[in-house]
């Protein structure tokens, strides 16, 4: 029996936030809802002495405190007032790339890597993604849901209100469906927003190693149709990489996903360069990692609405000396998002503020660019920009309050949680 650690009551409240030292609205600098690129990524729509009025889970007014206070409806006494003096208020983070459906940390891999083994070497030795298979296959749906919920709670404690959650450690029809059912179950007990993604194409499972085409057939003809039919996922993701799925097999899986009206995203260019042209023909919502993106592909990416989601926590945890090329991408006009990549093998962190720190110190993103990448562009990477990623009237009231006076401190402090309160759909998380 699934035993949640907390249950969301589901009663949105009227809330008034006032006197924020800095309210970062992330409102559109120009007309249109395209992802933010280039100089737009530095525009935070900041309001000094800012306020936000939340009614019925939506943002009802936003601006300077004096103006917003005038828009209070009758019955002010029923409002909850939150004094944000000395604090920064911003849209809740959108963590657009996570793998929360697993049961245990991978400590043997951790030690092996410290002793010098590489990512692919660990995978060859039976470690890596395959290590998590047994735990997920043997777990109950309720047991997995408990793990997912625990991760969601840790994420929201650090300001995250929207999480994309992938399956991908089951790698059989039953275990992938069970993983997505666990995501659905966990999301019912957390008042943030969860976007489920089918990552059946994470690696080829051991029982299909001699016949990967048969596994691709299973994905395309059985798993994707079942997941689509039961509305268990919004997106299909593929790990398109040497040792995982070739570009040709990736395209077969994309075609099946599109045929079932599911969105598309991919892990690509993490370990080796890939030709992005054929993948971009499928209009993926995002292409993630991008460490080895080729210069030739930058104009194509910049001309598309596909977001490049960068995952520096993985580089940090793997002890790499190189990080995703954020400057090259941003300066070429590519829309960039940041996410944790929360997973047991390469990025065991629920913390978007840590990702901001890594993006600024290791990838030379400016704090404002990193905040845009972690909010609005993250929402764009999940095609939720009409509801999430900025504080604008009519959008979901997803808000993070940080106990700092200047937005640059969000990326400056690390190893400490300065998030003092998280509000999702108008209610405290």
Distance, CA of 312 to CA of 326 (rounded, Å) = 10
Q: Which is nearer to Zn ion, 172 or 340 (CB)?
A: 340
Supply the minimum distance, in Å, between the C-beta of residue 339 and Zn ion: 8
Per-residue binding string, Zn ion, 302-341, x by CB under 5 A, is ---------------------------------------x
Q: Which is nearer to Zn ion, 298 or 314 (CB)?
A: 314
Q: Name which of residues 361 to 420 contact Zn ion (CB under 5 A).
A: none
Supply the minimum distance, in Å, between the C-beta of residue 337 and Zn ion: 13
Distance, CA of 183 to CA of 144 (rounded, Å) = 8
Distance, CA of 415 to CA of 66 (rounded, Å) = 36
Supply the minimum distance, in Å, between the C-beta of residue 321 and Zn ion: 20
Cβ atoms of residues 93 and 429 within 8 Å: no
Per-residue binding string, Zn ion, 32-71, x by CB under 5 A, is ----------------------------------------
Would you report the helix, strand and coil content of the chain in percent, each value rounded to 5?
A: 35, 20, 40
Q: Which is nearer to Zn ion, 102 or 402 (CB)?
A: 102
Q: Which is nearer to Zn ion, 193 or 346 (CB)?
A: 346
Question: For residue 260, what are the contacts with CB-CB under 8 A and spacing of at least 6?
Answer: 224, 225, 228
Q: Which is nearer to Zn ion, 185 or 341 (CB)?
A: 341
**Left (φ > 0), alpha (ψ -120 to 50) or beta: where does 256 sit?**
alpha
Distance, CA of 66 to CA of 46 (rounded, Å) = 16
Distance, CA of 375 to CA of 387 (rounded, Å) = 12
- φ, ψ (nearest 5 deg) of residue 326: -60, -45
Supply the minimum distance, in Å, between the C-beta of residue 413 and Zn ion: 26
Cβ atoms of residues 235 and 180 within 8 Å: no
Q: Which is nearer to Zn ion, 23 or 198 (CB)?
A: 198
What is the torsion angle, in degrees rounded to the nearest 10, for the CA atoms of residue 298, residue 300, residue 303 and residue 307? -70
Kindly state the tokens that stand for 419.
Answer: 């998030």
Cβ atoms of residues 156 and 429 within 8 Å: yes
Supply the minimum distance, in Å, between the C-beta of residue 323 and Zn ion: 16
Q: Which is nearer to Zn ion, 354 or 407 (CB)?
A: 354
- # of chain residues touching Zn ion (CB under 5 A): 1
Q: Which is nearer to Zn ion, 382 or 401 (CB)?
A: 382
Q: Which is nearer to Zn ion, 310 or 329 (CB)?
A: 310
Cβ atoms of residues 232 and 199 within 8 Å: no
Q: Name the residue whose CB lies closest to Zn ion.
A: 341
| Burial track 74-113 (b if 16+ CB lie within 10 A, e otherwise) | eeeeebeebebeebbbbbbbbbbbbbbbbbeebeebbebb
Q: Name which of residues 340 to 359 contact Zn ion (CB under 5 A).
A: 341
Supply the minimum distance, in Å, between the C-beta of residue 20 and Zn ion: 34
Supply the minimum distance, in Å, between the C-beta of residue 237 and Zn ion: 8
Supply the minimum distance, in Å, between the C-beta of residue 347 and Zn ion: 8
Supply the minimum distance, in Å, between the C-beta of residue 202 and Zn ion: 8
Distance, CA of 269 to CA of 265 (rounded, Å) = 13
Binding site for Zn ion (CB under 5 A): 341
């Amino acid at each position: 029996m699934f035993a949640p650690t907390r249950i969301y009551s589901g009663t949105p409240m009227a809330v008034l936030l006032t006197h924020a030292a800095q309210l970062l609205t992330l409102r559109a600098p120009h007309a249109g809802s395209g992802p933010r690129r280039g100089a737009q990524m530095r525009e935070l729509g900041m309001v000094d002495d800012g306020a936000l009025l939340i009614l019925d889970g939506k943002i009802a007014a936003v601006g300077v405190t004096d103006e917003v206070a005038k828009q209070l409806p009758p019955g002010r006494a029923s409002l909850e007032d939150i004094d944000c003096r000395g604090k920064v208020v911003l849209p809740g983070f959108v963590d657009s790339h996570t793998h929360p459906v697993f049961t245990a940390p991978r400590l043997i891999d951790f030690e092996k890597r410290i002793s010098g083994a590489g990512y692919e070497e660990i995978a060859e030795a039976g470690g890596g993604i395959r290590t998590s298979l047994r735990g997920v296959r043997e777990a109950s749906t309720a047991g997995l849901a408990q793990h997912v919920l625990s991760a969601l709670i840790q994420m929201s404690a650090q300001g995250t209100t929207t999480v994309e959650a992938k399956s991908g450690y089951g790698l059989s029809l039953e275990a992938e469906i069970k993983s997505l059912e666990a995501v659905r179950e966990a999301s019912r007990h957390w008042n943030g927003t969860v976007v489920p993604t089918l990552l059946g194409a994470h690696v080829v499972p051991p029982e299909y190693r001699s016949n990967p085409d048969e596994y691709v057939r299973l994905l395309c003809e059985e798993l994707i149709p079942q997941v689509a039919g039961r509305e268990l996922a919004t997106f299909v993701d593929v790990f398109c990489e040497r040792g995982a799925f070739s570009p040709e097999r990736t395209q077969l899986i994309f075609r099946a996903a599109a045929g079932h009206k599911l969105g598309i995203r991919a892990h690509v260019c993490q370990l080796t360069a890939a030709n992005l042209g054929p993948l971009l023909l499928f209009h993926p919502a995002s292409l993630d990692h991008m460490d080895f993106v080729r210069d030739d592909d930058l104009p194509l990416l910049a001309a598309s609405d596909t977001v490049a989601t960068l995952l520096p926590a993985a580089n940090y945890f793997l002890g790499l000396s190189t990080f995703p090329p954020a400057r090259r991408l941003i300066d070429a006009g590519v829309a960039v998002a940041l996410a944790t990549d929360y997973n047991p093998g390469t990025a065991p962190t629920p913390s978007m503020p840590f990702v901001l720190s890594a993006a600024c110190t290791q990838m030379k993103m400016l704090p404002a660019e990193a905040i845009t990448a972690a909010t609005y562009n993250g929402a764009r990477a999940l095609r939720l920009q009409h509801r999430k990623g900025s504080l604008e009237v009519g959008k979901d009231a997803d808000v993070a309050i940080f106990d700092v006076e200047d937005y640059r401190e969000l990326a400056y402090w690390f190893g400490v949680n300065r998030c003092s309160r998280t509000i999702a759909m108008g209610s405290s998380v």
